[in-house]
Amino acid sequence: MARIYLDNNASTSIRPEVFEAMQPYFLEHYGNASSAHAYGQEARGAVEEARALVAALLKGAPGEIVFTSGGTESDNLAVIGAARALRSKGRPRGRTGASPPRRSRPRSGPIRSS
C-alpha cells in the first residue's frame, strides 16, 4: 500500500521538476532578493520572473502576485485583505469575543492616572 504523508506543518516534499528548477538557487544563486548587491539583484530578477510566470498561469497581473514565507503570513494577508474589502463596501469589520465592547457615549469626567 502506498504511504501518504499528511504532516506538512514544518516541511513539505517538492516535486523533482521543482527541485531541478530551484537547484541553481539552492547552490549557486542564493542572494537575498531584497539586497542591493549583485547576488541579491540576481535573485530579485529570478523572483520577478517567477512572479510573471505565476501571473500568466493565473491570467492575472504580476503586481497581483504576492509570495509569502509561510502559512501564518498568508493567512494574515488573506484576513486583512478580506477586512479591507468589506470596509470599502461599507460593511463593518468583524469582532472577536476578545474585543472590548464599544462605548455608546464618551466617558464623562476627568481621566485619572494611577
Count of the separate structural domains present in the chain: 1
Give domain status of residue 84, yes or no: yes
Q: Which domain holds residue 57?
A: 16-88
Minimum mean pLDDT range among 3-7, 12-16, 32-36: 3-7
Which tens digits make up the pLDDT trace of 6-19?
887 777 888 999 99
Between CA 83 and CA 56 the distance in angstroms is: 27
What gap in Å lies between CA 90 and CA 92, rounded to an integer?
A: 6
Q: Find the mean pLDDT for residues 44-70.
A: 94
pTM of the model: 0.63
Tell me: the pLDDT tens digits for 87-108?
877 766 566 556 565 666 666 6
Residue 12: the pLDDT is 81
Average pLDDT, the chain: 84
DSSP string, 82-102: HHHHHHHTTPPPP--TTSPPP
Q: What average pLDDT does range 65-75 have in this prediction? A: 90
